[in-house]
Amino acid sequence: MPQPAIFADRLHWGLLHTFLVIAEEKSLSRAALRLNVTPSAVSHSLRRLEEQTGGRLVDRNRQRFALTGQGALLHEAALDICKRINVLDTTFASGVPAISGTLNLLMLSTLVSDTFDIFLTDFCKRFPLLAMHVETLPSSIILKKIGQNLPSLGLALCPRETRDIRRAPLIPQRYALYCGRNHPLFTRERVTRQDLLAENFVSFFSDQMGDSLAALAEYREKHRFTGTVVASANDQDEVKRLLYAGYGIGCLADDSARKDVLEGRLRRLPPEKGIADVPVYLVWSGQRKLQPAEIIFINGLCDAFGRERPFPAAGETGETHGA
């Protein structure tokens, strides 16, 4: 006894294209015009598709045209198929295999960069089959995960390159001193560097010698700041919260604090030129064999920021590179 054909076997894919045009034109006649066939041919095709799918796909009469629930589901699936087929067009033309899968990105929070956002927009268009998972974490956790060879790339503060962690400097970040609106210095007309030396500090956990924000601690030490650290956090947003509360003065990246200054929550303090540059690095495992998508992402991001490509020979051919 013959088995009933599974859905994909009994469905004629060509009818899906006709159905997509019908759904877009919201009319069989207009679909026929666009497909360069007669309206009856479109009607026949729709009926055949409804027979194959086992239910009505379109509620249609002279007054009304609407996809049924089943029709909407099929339309969504057909769009997805269409999108995947369209990718093949550029793939075949370029001779480069389509990149698919998932790219995991670990990012430090409150990273502000128009260049990165523009890069991501372009990357999304170029590789629509590649899913992106983004998790925000403190830099120390990102480096730990990358060092454990988890299948991820990171955007983090990275004080040094090691055998396990490779890095490329990406986004320059100038750190400066700030106070919140509840701090006594916020409303003082003129503030000099001398006024800051005895002020209590809000700091990052990583704001210690040898850690990723050591440059901030070095500055305090070098310029003989005598105030004590009265509050600390591992995250830029939480440091801001402590500054808003008025615990003390603290360091923040200018890019992440700019909006708060404009909106009257923070005040930028001397020195005018800031106190240290701590770039955000693109980091990846030095031990794990990277996926083609990861290499393309790394090279593309370095291109976007005008940095040297770490994998210049790889191009975008899908060739893989280890450390």
According to CB under 7 A, which one of 21, 46, 278, 280 is a site residue for DNA?
Answer: 46
The stretch among 11-19, 131-139, 166-174, 289-297 that binds DNA (CB under 7 A) is 11-19
- Cα 230-233-235 angle, rounded to 5 deg: 150
Q: Taking a C-beta distance cutoff of 8 angstroms, is the pair 180, 265 a contact?
A: yes
Instruction: Report the C-alpha gap between 33 and 47 in whole angstroms.
Output: 18
Minimal distance, residue 76 CB to DNA, in Å: 21
DSSP bridge partners of 251: 177
Q: Which among 38, 20, 19 has a CA at the least distance from the CA of 29?
A: 38
- The structure tokens listed for 162 are 């090691």
261 lies in the site for DNA, by CB under 7 A: no
Minimal distance, residue 58 CB to DNA, in Å: 7
Q: Taking a C-beta distance cutoff of 8 angstroms, is the pair 71, 78 a contact?
A: no
Residues 56-95 as x/- pattern, contact with DNA by CB under 7 A: ----xxxx-x------------------------------
Q: Which is nearer to DNA, 18 or 113 (CB)?
A: 18
48 lies in the site for DNA, by CB under 7 A: yes
Size of the site for DNA (CB under 7 A): 25
Range list of H helices, the chain: 7-10, 13-25, 28-35, 39-53, 69-94, 114-126, 139-147, 193-196, 214-222, 236-245, 254-262, 292-304
245 lies in the site for DNA, by CB under 7 A: no
User: Under rule CB under 7 A, which residues in 13-32 are in contact with DNA?
Assistant: 14-15, 18, 27-29
Which positions touch DNA (CB under 7 A)?
12, 14-15, 18, 27-29, 35-41, 43-48, 60-63, 65
